[in-house]
A and B are shown apart, each in its own frame.
Chain A
Amino acid sequence: MKKHLPILVSAFLAFWVAGSWRVPSDKTGTFPANAFGRLPVVSNGRTQPLDSLARNALLQLREKQTANTEPWKSFYQGPKILSASQWLMEMFFDPSTADSRPVFRIDHPDLKGLLELPLEADPDKQTDGKSFSWSQVRDKLKELQDEARRAQSVDQSARTSFDSAVLKLWTGVGLYMKLQNTVQPQDAKNWDRDLQNLVALAPAGREAAKAQQAGQPFDAQVLEQLIQHLQRASAMNELDTPLVVAPLSATPDSKDAAKWSRTGETLFEVARGAPLPASLRSYAALGAAFRSNGTAGFSSILTAHFEELNSRFPAEVKKAAKEQKFNTLEPFYKSLVLYVLAGICVLIYMVNPDRFRLLRDTAQSVTLLALLVHSAGLIYRMTLEGRPPVTNLYSSAIFIGWGACILGLLLERIWRNGIGLSVSSVTGFLTLIIAHHLSLTGDTMEMMRAVLDTNFWLATHVVVVTLGYSSTFVAGFLAILYVIRGAFTTSLTPEIGKSLSKMVYGIVCFAALFSFVGTVLGGIWADQSWGRFWGWDAKENGALMIVLWNAVFLHARWGGLMRERGLMAIALGGNIVTAWSWFGVNMLGIGLHSYGFMSAAFTWLMAFIVSQMVLIGLALLPPRLWRSQTA
């Protein structure tokens, strides 16, 4: 029994992962949120399911993929939690209910002060002190707008935490308005009727407008009504809402998503005499059924709408369903949990390797499972996007973790002493956490700008250079292990020290190769698209620094200029250089790879750099101050 523990544990965990393979079907008697979430929409330049739209919106608003309607209740009191799609249904069809849902997360005390919101959690007053509803926020909209205007004019790097909080909330408010105006005007009480009214009114209204232009007598009342409709529509258009209206007729090229349009735009077309698109009618009917609590009616309208869409846009419907499945699967969240479990096992094993032999094997099989899920997620994402694995900062974090995990498992295969597993589990965990935080800014599958729109270079330069980051971090992580074990414990025997230093050397060879080839490939890409191989762009320079730093390590070792601990210090420096190149240069706000200043990330980057400096200091202490006796 005991020796089967690793297999049993990983089988159990594999079961847990496989559990979310299918999107759960909707219960009868409720609104079919999952089916609703599968509806395709064009947002951010790409076709996606409403489910993604909803999840990304909630991530931006409250850093979670669900909407907790009673956040003041603790977990065991069972607060009512809406899934992203359920929340979006309310946003679309019943805005006034949605307005009472506390989905705006506000942490900054000054911002809460500005909006006169409760500062502290107070279950009696139904607040957790950080989640607020639109009806709470909108009272002070004017003040918020003033502050947002001011903060916008402040230079990015000079913004205070208050400014950033204001701007974040302001963006959230814009997003909220956008969603509430996607399928109907937010103030519409009975949109179904309003829409019929517009269709009925349009011909007479056009006649009236023509007559007025021609200076002939006209029906002022009809014209006035038409103008009111159009004013509403143009207010919707100004918000750049997602494109929910499928084209009227099937286009021969169904990939041409450009034909999808906004509700507001379509209303103008209808007023001009175009027939009412099916999507518009279906959404209006869905809204009416939702408000009258007719779940059966809602379901049948939705089914009919799906059938209609599927007959004309099978590709879009399929893509949306596929992405919803990916959202439900949450492969990166699952592998994160697995990495944590594996990490705990390795840690216990390292305390007493002889006694907990079995835990190393358990950790190994769990890490393998985690890598499997991680890889599956990576591949799924690639097929969804039709792109190589790394397209933005978010996916680079995921890919760095993946590469590090593989390197760790390779090391473990050779040395079998738990060190490789600790590399895999800890870097896997950390990079996925970083990825999660990067995903909070919105859609992580955004489209690539023209100059980046080349799968060949994304697949070569970007992938190789990211592997370079990955392996430099692995070398740095091994050095961290070395220094911590050596300085604070007696567990760093000369033997382990030697094996660690060999691992670092091997990995740095890898890193030097990947970062060099990756950097030069980047230069060749630049030569292909801008006509210069090297332009001293900030990100190029960052990559060059990694190459040079790895060269420093190799030459210092070959020349015998440094002993084991000195080399470890250099490897730790590699962490700083890589972190700088991965994140730091993006924060300067210059160059072609600039993503703007990220103040929260900046704090973390600084903390990381300081921690590495401290470790370098430890590595350079005289050997007698170390607890372990090393070479």
Chain B
Amino acid sequence: MPNSLWKFLTSLKVTVVLLILCVLLVFLGTVAQVHEGLWEAQTRWFKSFVVIRSATDVWWVPPIFPGGYTLGFGLLINLIAAHLKRFRFTWEKTGIHLTHLGVILLLAGQLMTDLLSRESFINFAEGETRNYSEAHRETELVINTTAPEANGKDRVISYSQAALEKKGILKHAEIPFEIRILEYGENGEVLSHDSIREAGTRLATALATLEANYSTSESLIAQAEKSADNPGRAAIWSDALKAAGETGKDLVASVKKIAADPDRTPPFREDLKRRFRTQMLAAFKRMPRGQSGGQARAMAYVAQETEAGRSLNLEQLPAAGNQGAAARMHLLPLAASRGMDDQNVPYAKVELFSKEASLGVWLLSAWLNPQDVSVEGRTFRIAMRNERYFQPFSVTLLKTTHEVYPGTEIPKNYQSRVRIENPQTQERREVDISMNNPLRYGGLTFYQSQMGRTEERGEKGTSGTSGLQVVRNPGWLTPYAGCLIVALGMTWQFLRHLIGFLTKPRAAKSSPSNLSHS
């Protein structure tokens, strides 16, 4: 190795520059979270080698910046090289060496976590049992090869998201057909034709009523009288009145004034209609989306199309395919979102072939229930769902506890009592999981995250649901060890200074010189 390079690699100046760059990177990566969201900012700034300025960045973001991996590896190399060059065991330096060893361990541990850890979740209601957890983002295509009526365990063949993204042909010895992926998207909504038709009809009716309500001057006054007591509607009226130059307090009186003037009435009516129409479309888009939000999503969709000036032919809606659910469904591809909490729902259009004969085009999406495919007298269930990670044990949710502080909504305690059953070890025991009290079992850690209640009412009313975050992280102990070593090293070094300082003769104290690093 050339001498100058070695000198560069081991230089303290490089350390300081790298550290300063780290501070700047952390700052930029934090501020970027405001617009990019945690997930995206993390990937772009910290889990990358280079960050290149994008058009959406704030003006003071530099055009190019080293990413987290570059700086992390840089520090690691610099640290190791410097130690190779300078390492010499003395009690004097033990503290410093320990500190740096700990830092190396921390950096390595973080890298290990990045590469090896996996996060998933379980969301279940009281009484339910799971022997798998689900991925947050990854989707899989599954084919259940067992007929639904067959007893015993299902035989399921699954393909991961990566296989779908390649858009090739999927074959399996146990399946008598092959799957050709025609189209795959990271995010898309699936709306049934029925729901679109219903939403479209509702919107059309509402718009027609609106048209009728404001068609004549008399109806105008009647409407104003009706709206005066409704704050939401009255606000729209007063905005329209303001635009027409009427600022009087009494809504109805102002309207009467305009209605009396034939020149002012038509433009006022048009303006008012336009305002109510905008409000109506906005209301359609804002429908609350519950568990079964198909109708709300369809309403938002028709409102959006109407707003964009595209008319929908409700009689002949385009179908996403010709087999299974696809024939009754409309596919609406969406841009993949990168936010932390936004869920993407991938979809695939596939054509199935049995011995070169097409079985039609099918639509697969997690929005849809599993679909039956009949080939050679056998029935297969095909579906898309969040990827599942199976475990050799099962977890049953027995009871949820959700306490708040009296008279407030501030959560005091989230707690799930679960039963673990492991046939391999003959274990069958109950345990509590709560905030700050995770369960570590079988190489996995279960954390309490959300709490809720089921939508449907059972015999005893609704039952509690619990969301558990499930993490597999083989390197979870390294930060503990790293932290301990650094703390030891720093304390060592620090105490040496302090003791040395305090035991010096008093005369030396007035101008202490031994605090400096030797």
Contacts and interface: CB of A to CB of B under 8 A. Distances in A.
- Whether chain B is bound by chain A comes out as yes
Interface of A: 42-46, 240, 242-243, 257-258, 260, 262, 414-416, 446-447, 449-451, 453-454, 457, 495, 498-499, 502, 505-506, 509-510, 512-513, 516-517, 520-521, 523-525, 527-538, 541-542, 544-545, 548-549, 551-552, 555-559, 561, 577, 580, 585, 588-591
Given A242-B407, A524-B480, A555 B491 contact: no
Residue from A242, A415, A516, A533 having most chain B Cβ neighbours under 10 A: A533
B163 interface: no
B407 A516 contact: no
A277 B7 CA distance: 83
Contact of B473 (A42, A262, A531, A577): A531
A447 B409 CA distance: 11
Nearest to A262: B407
10 contacts: A257-B406, A414-B512, A450-B411, A457-B436, A499-B512, A530-B447, A542-B30, A552-B19, A557-B517, A561-B12
Contacts of A506: 497, 515
B435 A453 contact: yes
A447 B509 CA distance: 47
Contacts of A449: 410-411
Contact of A451 (B435, B473, B487, B493): B435
Contact of A502 (B13, B113, B516): B516
Contacts of A451: 435-436
B16 interface: yes
Contacts of A513: 487, 490-491, 494
Which 3 residue pairs spanning A and B have beta carbons closest together? Answer: A45-B405, A559-B12, A531-B471
Residue from A512, A538, A548 having most chain B Cβ neighbours under 10 A: A548
B511 A536 contact: no
A42 B438 contact: no
Contacts of B405: 44-46, 447
A591 B33 contact: yes
Nearest to A520: B483
Contacts of A585: 30
Nearest to B479: A533
A502 B473 contact: no
Contacts of A512: 490
Contact of B26 (A43, A260, A446, A544): A544
B22 to A, nearest CB: 5
Interface string B15-42: 1100110110011011101100010011
B476 interface: yes
Contacts of A46: 405
B483 A532 contact: no
A42 B404 CA distance: 13
Nearest to A46: B405
B292 interface: no
Contacts of A45: 404-408, 410, 412
Given A45-B408, A505-B516, 10 more contacts: A260-B406, A502-B512, A513-B487, A513-B490, A517-B483, A520-B479, A524-B480, A549-B23, A552-B20, A559-B15
A135 to B, nearest CB: 22
A498 B510 CA distance: 12
B46 A536 contact: yes
Nearest to A531: B471
A591 B38 contact: yes
A244 to B, nearest CB: 10
B407 A243 contact: yes
A312 B13 CA distance: 70
Interface of B: 12-13, 15-16, 19-20, 22-23, 26-27, 29-31, 33-34, 38, 41-42, 46, 106, 109-110, 113, 117, 119, 404-408, 410-414, 434-436, 438, 445, 447, 449, 469, 471, 473, 476, 479-480, 482-483, 486-487, 490-491, 493-494, 497, 509-513, 515-517
B15 to A, nearest CB: 5
Contacts of B471: 531-532
B480 to A, nearest CB: 6
A446 B409 CA distance: 12
A534 B471 CA distance: 13
A463 B175 CA distance: 61
A464 B413 CA distance: 25
Contacts of A533: 109-110, 113, 476, 479
A418 B4 CA distance: 48
Contacts of A258: 406
A531 B22 contact: no
Contacts of B483: 517, 520-521, 523-524
B440 to A, nearest CB: 10
B31 to A, nearest CB: 7
Contacts of B497: 506, 509
B33 A588 contact: yes
Contact of B517 (A450, A510, A558): A558
Given A243-B407, A451-B435, A520-B479, A529 B26 contact: no
A549 B23 CA distance: 7
A548 B22 contact: yes
Contact of B19 (A262, A524, A555, A558): A555
A391 to B, nearest CB: 13
A242 B405 CA distance: 13
A406 B26 CA distance: 31
Contact of A510 (B119, B438, B494, B511): B494
B110 A548 contact: no
A336 B412 CA distance: 34
Contacts of A260: 406-407
Given A509-B497, A552-B23, A591-B33, A529 B414 contact: no
Contacts of A509: 490, 493-494, 497
A45 B483 CA distance: 37
Given A45-B407, A454-B436, A531-B473, A558 B33 contact: no
Contact of A545 (B13, B23, B435): B23
A143 to B, nearest CB: 12
B447 A531 contact: yes
Given A516-B487, A531-B445, A555-B19, A590 B511 contact: no
Contacts of B473: 531-532
A42 B109 CA distance: 47
Contacts of B13: 559, 561
A502 B515 contact: yes
Contacts of A510: 494
A548 B30 contact: no
B33 A538 contact: yes
B447 A453 contact: no
B488 to A, nearest CB: 10
A532 B112 CA distance: 12
A510 B445 CA distance: 35
B411 A556 contact: no
A525 B469 CA distance: 15
A561 B469 contact: no
A450 B412 contact: yes
A541 B30 contact: yes
A535 B114 CA distance: 11
A467 to B, nearest CB: 14
Contact of B436 (A257, A529, A532): A529
B518 to A, nearest CB: 10
B487 A538 contact: no
A451 B13 CA distance: 42
Contacts of B30: 536, 538, 541-542, 585, 588
A258 B438 CA distance: 27
B490 A527 contact: no
A524 B494 contact: no
B113 A43 contact: no
B41 to A, nearest CB: 7
